[in-house]
Amino acid sequence: MESDPLWPGFRRRPQRSPIPRTMSRRDVLVGGMWLSVGLGVAPLLSACGGGSSAAIVGEFPLARPDAPLTLPLYDDNPAIADGLPPEKGGALRILNYAEFISPDVIKAFEKTHGVKIEVTPYGDFEEMMNKLTAPGAYFDVVYSGPSIISQQVYNKLFQPFNKSYLPNVANVWPEFQDPWYDKGAQYTVPYGIFSTGIGYRADKVSAVPDNGYLMLWDEQYKGKAGIFDDPSDALSMAMLAWNITKDVNTGNPEFINAARDRLIELIDLVSVKLSIDQYETIPNGKYTVHQAWSGDMVAAPYYLGEGETAEVLGYWTPKSSETLVGNETMSIGSGAKKPVLAHMFINDLLDNDIGKTNFEWTGYQPPITKLTAESLISDGLIPKNLLSTVVVREDFATGLQYYEQPIETTALWIDAFKEFQASGG
């Protein structure tokens, strides 16, 4: 790989096509979606978003960071037995965002196990559920997230792990060996982790304010400012930018509408655009400032123009107690045809070296203990000026996270975002 002259050892991956994935970090259509796919799940009963508020779906509770959830086990959906041999031949079927696994990792697994890996892509959680529940469909490995896991388990779409096949779980941060959304990690292991902040062209931004969100409200970036085309991400950013509330799961209409009004200001102020391709459009100069996930900015140097180096990029995120963080998960489909190989594939991605190889492709950091900020820089995986993209354990201990919402709360967020869009956003 080509070496970046600014940071010796920072390796530039060859150019590839833009990633055709939505990467919506919280599925804001969760309430209506469950009815639309015909799962027969009762509507969410309790309203009021908030850290300690109870919420249930049908007879089942929803997980909260301060109300962790042990997901149920079912006699008719057991884990596989110990000591089974890996399945031979055919295809290992994976449901995931497009291009979100390293081709090198895929090829190595295929060669070792004599199997073909088939990845079925999805753009958001609604599309994922449509594919997961389609008649006759099955997947061995499914990539999902905390905001939808409980309902997938209640509907027996995933099977529990047999941890004897997953020794590399020991490499994972302790928080994810016993996460609040799946106590005991019975159905999930983590994949990528990320923070949400502001990506920018450092060569075109003269100064970053202490509250970096406010760059989006700076008229000097008119025509060059973008936010996520997603209700939860856009509205929660406005809440944090203007100190409306730090409860990014709020069900308070006053807070939600105040955030909507702040977004509407962006229409005339900076001609704000909605997009989710910031990993490419920040480095190519289409946007000077744009809401971004940390993993996008790790990948951004690979989309720079000829002769440009990583020093022209920047990423701002607030201090740990106000950082918005999240993660994706890996699970095994209840109808998996190759459950042993599925365990083995997941186990590989939790290996220190394989996890690092995969990170080099995706830009989304695995929560593996040995992959520290220092090692990521010294190994040339992150340039020094993008150190802010590294997520640390403290961010998850003290930061802000989305969680699954009652349908009434979800509707408030969607309606407010639609009103922003109707105003010209």
Confidence of residue 225 (pLDDT cuts 50, 70, 90): very high
CA pair distance 313, 294, nearest whole angstrom? 12
Q: Can you tell me the mean pLDDT for 228-234?
A: 93
Q: Average model confidence (pLDDT) for the chain?
A: 87
* Confidence grade of residue 294 (pLDDT, cut at 50, 70, 90): very high
Please enumerate in sequence order all residues whose Cβ is within 8 A of that of 163, keeping only pairs 6 or more positions apart, or say none.
169
Read off the pLDDT of residues 71-119 as tens digits, 9 standing for 90 and up. 999 999 999 999 999 999 999 999 999 889 999 999 999 999 999 999 9
β-bridge partners, 368? 172
Cα-atom radius of gyration of the chain, to the nearest Å?
21
Reported as a single tens digit per residue, the pLDDT across 175-196 is 999 999 999 999 999 999 999 9
**Stretch (H or E) spanning 195:** strand 189-201
Statement: the pTM of the whole predicted model exceeds 0.85: yes
Q: How far apart are CA 419 and CA 129, in angstroms?
A: 27
The confidence score (pLDDT) of residue 55 equals 52
3-state SS string for 324-354: EEEEEEEEEECCCCCHHHHHHHHHHHCCHHH
Nearest to 156 by CA among 138, 179, 175: 138
Count of other CB atoms within 10 angstroms of residue 198: 28
